Chain A
Amino acid sequence: MNQPLTLTAAQKAGPKATVIALGLALAVLVAMPLLHLLPAEHALHVSAYTLTLVGKILCYAIVALALDLVWGYAGLLSLGHGLFFALGGYAMGMYLMRQSAGDGLPAFMSFLAWNELPWYWYGTSSFLWAMCLVVLVPGVLAFVFGFFAFRSRIKGVYFSIMTQALTFAGMLLFFRNETGFGGNNGFTDFKTILGFSISAPATRATLFLATVALLTGSLYLGFRLARSKFGRVLTALRDAENRLMFCGYDPRGYKLFIWTLSAVLCGLAGALYVPQVGIINPSEMAPTQSIEAAVWVALGGRGTLIGPLLGAGLVNGMKSWFTVAFPEYWLFALGALFIVVTLYLPKGVIGLIKRRGE
């Protein structure tokens, strides 16, 4: 238990099997956008719908990974990661709206009869500044919130509730037209990104590859962190914070670092999500969305890094299938999933596989 589960699982299964499985998955993900570039009548062509769906799930997988870092390793269950995701998405959306509006104002502002951009829109026509915002806004918000929360040692369910209230407040704020982010319609109707048409196959393929790259990078970073001394301290923090403090560690810095890192990862995922899916609105900040992310992690297996990716894929795949086949019963299935996972799969799917291996 004291060692990250992935490590023990990988040791049991042998490093070879893990590497082969990961390599295969990566190969498939890299091949998909390339196959999308094939002509539509080709037998191996991957449709835009499939590519968007998988791209969306990959973005969610990054969120799951980020949540696993804070929940699985540091024991902080955040029910507000949707906020960071949406903030990254909104920062990207601002840039995309400016692109499609040209020199004029974004359409929703003309609709509100505004004459000039609010100050926080300053510079968003530059891609670089928008990318800075993608990192800075979720990062700074998480840092400030985390600073106060960890300073007063808010943890456990208290922490979860505060993060949930935070994303709820964000949602209320962004629902208002006066906030300047398009109210409940949010941003949509994007046309170009860096001058390339957003619906062109090549753009889609590039965005998809960028998502795969971010996912691979975060996974690598996660592994490095988990193996480092930092990761060990985090795990100790999760299991017995007071004992760690008695050993002379100050947990605040560790918590704050992993919490802010996780928020930034979510922001980046959101920024890649928006151009692929083509819309961002405040419902991404709904508490429901964030808590659903927790079940991805729980289903896959907490503290395993790989597990949450599996979980995000499984739950979102199920969701896509259910909402088409039995839309009435999706919430029943999701609710049952929450209960079954917490009652019978405390270590998630990864735990199941590991037990099978033994």
Chain B
Amino acid sequence: MNTALHRLLLLLLLVLPWAAQAGDAADYAKASPAKQARLLESWAAAPAPERLPLIEALRANRVAIDQNKTPFIEENGAYRALEGDAEPVGTPKKLRLNNRLRGLLNTALASHQLFAEDPAQRLAAAKRLQRSGQPEQLELLQQRLDVEEDAAVSEALTLALANLQLTASDPAVRLAAVRLLGETGAPLARVRLENLLADEAETDAAVRKAAETSLAQVKRKLLIGELLGQAFSGLSLGSILLLAALGLAITFGLLGVINMAHGEMLMLGAYTTYMVQVLMARLAPEALAFYPLVALPVAFFVTAAIGMALERTVIRHLYGRPLETLLATWGISLILIQLVRVLFGAQNVEVANPGWLSGGLQVLPNLVLPYNRMVIIGFALFVVLLTWLLLNKTRLGLNVRAVTQNRNMAACCGVPTGRIDMMAFGLGSGIAGLGGVALSQIGNVGPDLGQSYIIDSFLVVVLGGVGQLAGSIFAAFGLGIANKILEPQIGAVLGKILILALIILFIQKRPQGLFALKGRVID
């Protein structure tokens, strides 16, 4: 029986491509919807390369028939015969698709694309067949799997095949399919296995047992993927918090003042990126892909200049009055936000990811690491390294550390504290500007951008303590990861509240933060 079926299918495979040339399009055009569906099913089971244009045209709704039911393809308003070189008689009418036909069409297209040159296209086709494969395609899938060379594609094909085999009548085939599903660890496999186990769909005891083991296996693999995903998004959030808080920690450690306009430096950095993108699209479109790299130094200098100007004009006059500084910088932040709103509009502006930052790396079936986030984690660490070098290996850094530890003593030793304050304020603002460039690549760029990060970055500073880079790093990544681990368990809002409560409790133990500067200070 089985061999007979095989032979029949093989025969069909041999015959069908030849039959295709005898006017697939004409057959389809003349058929009733029910017959069209059957035609599509047979095409899906036995793909032929010549048929691809027809299927694509059908899918794009570009096939029309004239009064003689001759099929034509519509191109920019003109009609061209699909087979032969007939001229349309009368105005051709578009062939209509219903939902069932559209689904079958997609399946047929997918099985044709399994033959594509591009592995990405084959992968997409195999993935589509995982969902919508038809029992008739079993043979085809088996055949493609045997010749497939690309590992990712053959994995996807295996899954599609196993999906189909679950419906086979032979328990042995089903058992093999269940085992195969267990090895993949794909979210879809879990759904299939659960369906199989639910409502007594599977009657064979051995298959049921195997399905249970496979399900446990898949769940474990999915859990690993999920945990890794949470850890990654925690790292990603942590690196963003780090970029936002690093500059704040420097200025707070140095001057003892909280710069409420710090978030707006992030926002200005993001808007600078937008401006660079617009200018490069106009002046140097061929290098547009590298605009974030160009934006980095521009954003740094723009925000550093603004920061230094603020220090000179406002903050300088408020030394020794930290609470007033907080209010004054809040006023500055209001003005900056409104200024951006007036200049650029209250709507978000569009900052597009260049090609090399979009997409992601598929590590596990349910774990994709986006390139932009990976780059930002690396970038944050790079900025930390630069800051460390600047603070520890340069004259400026030496002076900054001296003023942070003891302002009066540093001044007595000839450190120009006023100049150092200005430079450090510029540095802190510049780092925030760099953070703004990074933020523009993963989120919306609007006038309120900075507001959403400011409280979190304060918490980083409070938790980490001032004057030490290590404190900020630990606090930023700790908060980021804690946030992302708590989020799926108890929701984002409750997670935030819990973290706030934990910070308050933590400060009971260590009022100076994780890494306090050693020394005796008394007011």
Let me know if B331 and A169 touch, CB within 8 A. Answer: no
Let me know if A342 and B328 touch, CB within 8 A. Answer: yes
Which of B126-134, B359-367, B431-439, B501-509 lines the interface with chain A? B501-509
Let me know if A295 and B324 touch, CB within 8 A. Answer: no
How far is the CB of B502 from the nearest CB of chain A, in Å? 12
- Whether, in the assembled complex, B146 has its beta carbon less than 8 Å from a beta carbon of chain A, the answer is no
Let me know if A339 and B462 touch, CB within 8 A. Answer: no
Other-chain residue from A287, A328, A338 in contact with B334 (beta carbon distance below 8 A): A338
How far is the CB of A315 from the nearest CB of chain B, in Å? 12
Distance of A192 Cα from B324 Cα, bound (Å): 43
Other-chain residue from B337, B459, B493, B505 in contact with A173 (beta carbon distance below 8 A): B493
How far is the CB of B7 from the nearest CB of chain A, in Å? 61
Distance of A157 Cα from B504 Cα, bound (Å): 14
Other-chain residue from A162, A241, A242, A341 in contact with B462 (beta carbon distance below 8 A): A162
Given A157-B258, A161-B462, A335-B335, A298 contacting B497 (CB threshold 8 A):
no
How far is the CB of B492 from the nearest CB of chain A, in Å? 8
Let me know if B493 and A151 touch, CB within 8 A. Answer: no
- Whether, in the assembled complex, B522 has its beta carbon less than 8 Å from a beta carbon of chain A, the answer is yes
B324 CB contacts on chain A under 8 angstroms = 298, 342, 346
CB closest chain-B residue, reference A341:
B327
Let me know if A343 and B314 touch, CB within 8 A. Answer: yes
How far is the CB of B258 from the nearest CB of chain A, in Å? 5
- Whether, in the assembled complex, B458 has its beta carbon less than 8 Å from a beta carbon of chain A, the answer is yes
Interface string of B354-398 (1 = CB under 8 A from A): 000000000000000000000000000000000000000000000
Given A240-B523, A343-B318, A172 contacting B496 (CB threshold 8 A):
yes
Let me know if A169 and B497 touch, CB within 8 A. Answer: yes
Let me know if A339 and B332 touch, CB within 8 A. Answer: yes
- Whether, in the assembled complex, B317 has its beta carbon less than 8 Å from a beta carbon of chain A, the answer is yes
Let me know if B508 and A148 touch, CB within 8 A. Answer: yes
CB closest chain-B residue, reference A178:
B491
B504 CB contacts on chain A under 8 angstroms = 145, 148-149, 162
Other-chain residue from B317, B334, B508 in contact with A331 (beta carbon distance below 8 A): B334
Interface string of A144-156 (1 = CB under 8 A from B): 0100110111101
- Whether, in the assembled complex, A77 has its beta carbon less than 8 Å from a beta carbon of chain B, the answer is yes
Distance of A287 Cα from B334 Cα, bound (Å): 13
Query: How many A-B contacts are there with CB distance less than 8 Å?
Result: 116
Size of interface on B: residues with Cβ below 8 Å to A: 43
Let me know if B331 and A334 touch, CB within 8 A. Answer: yes
Given A77-B326, A160-B258, A169 contacting B334 (CB threshold 8 A):
no
Distance of A241 Cα from B523 Cα, bound (Å): 8
Interface residues in B247-285 by Cβ distance below 8 A to A read 252, 256-258
Let me know if B322 and A157 touch, CB within 8 A. Answer: yes
- Whether, in the assembled complex, A168 has its beta carbon less than 8 Å from a beta carbon of chain B, the answer is yes
B338 CB contacts on chain A under 8 angstroms = 328, 331-332, 335
How far is the CB of B463 from the nearest CB of chain A, in Å? 11
Let me know if B322 and A154 touch, CB within 8 A. Answer: no
Let me know if B511 and A287 touch, CB within 8 A. Answer: no
- Whether, in the assembled complex, A114 has its beta carbon less than 8 Å from a beta carbon of chain B, the answer is no
Distance of A176 Cα from B252 Cα, bound (Å): 34
A298 CB contacts on chain B under 8 angstroms = 324, 327
Let me know if B342 and A328 touch, CB within 8 A. Answer: yes
Let me know if B326 and A157 touch, CB within 8 A. Answer: yes
Distance of A160 Cα from B322 Cα, bound (Å): 11
- Whether, in the assembled complex, A166 has its beta carbon less than 8 Å from a beta carbon of chain B, the answer is yes
CB closest chain-B residue, reference A166:
B500
- Whether, in the assembled complex, B330 has its beta carbon less than 8 Å from a beta carbon of chain A, the answer is yes
Distance of A166 Cα from B458 Cα, bound (Å): 12
- Whether, in the assembled complex, B214 has its beta carbon less than 8 Å from a beta carbon of chain A, the answer is no
* A/B interface sample: 15 pairs, CB < 8 A: A77-B323, A148-B508, A160-B323, A165-B503, A166-B500, A240-B523, A242-B522, A242-B523, A287-B455, A294-B327, A295-B327, A335-B332, A335-B335, A336-B335, A342-B325
For the complex of A and B, list the 6 residue pairs with the smallest distance between their C-beta atoms, beginning with the closest: A338-B331, A335-B334, A335-B335, A331-B338, A335-B331, A342-B328
Additional pairs, 17, CB under 8 Å, beyond known A156-B323, A162-B507: A71-B323, A77-B323, A157-B252, A158-B507, A160-B326, A161-B455, A162-B503, A164-B455, A165-B458, A176-B493, A294-B327, A332-B338, A336-B335, A338-B327, A341-B327, A342-B325, A346-B321
